[in-house]
Amino acid sequence: LNSGLVEKYSDEDSNSSSSSSSSSSSSKAESVKTELANIIAL
């Protein structure tokens, strides 16, 4: 499970870094924080 999530976030990082802005990276941090909160809730 954890390794799959790491790969998922790695893919998102590489995709967003190719065309990213400061606003998109900050919103990405919020979405990651929310997803981590959901995982902890599980």
Total domain count, the chain: 1
Q: Residue 20: its pLDDT value, please?
A: 47
Q: What is the pLDDT of residue 41?
A: 83
Complete DSSP assignment for the chain: -HHHHHHHHHHHHHHHHHT--HHHHHHHHHHHHHHHHHHHH-
- The pLDDT, as a whole number, for residue 25 is 63
Kindly indicate the confidence band of residue 4, based on its pLDDT and cuts at 50, 70 and 90. Answer: low
pLDDT computed for residue 23 by the predictor: 57
Query: 31 vs 42, which has greater pLDDT?
Result: 31
pLDDT digits (tens, 9 = 90+) for 6-30: 666 655 555 555 444 555 666 788 8
The domain in which residue 31 lies consists of: 2-41
What pLDDT, on a 0 to 100 scale, did the predictor assign at position 2? 64
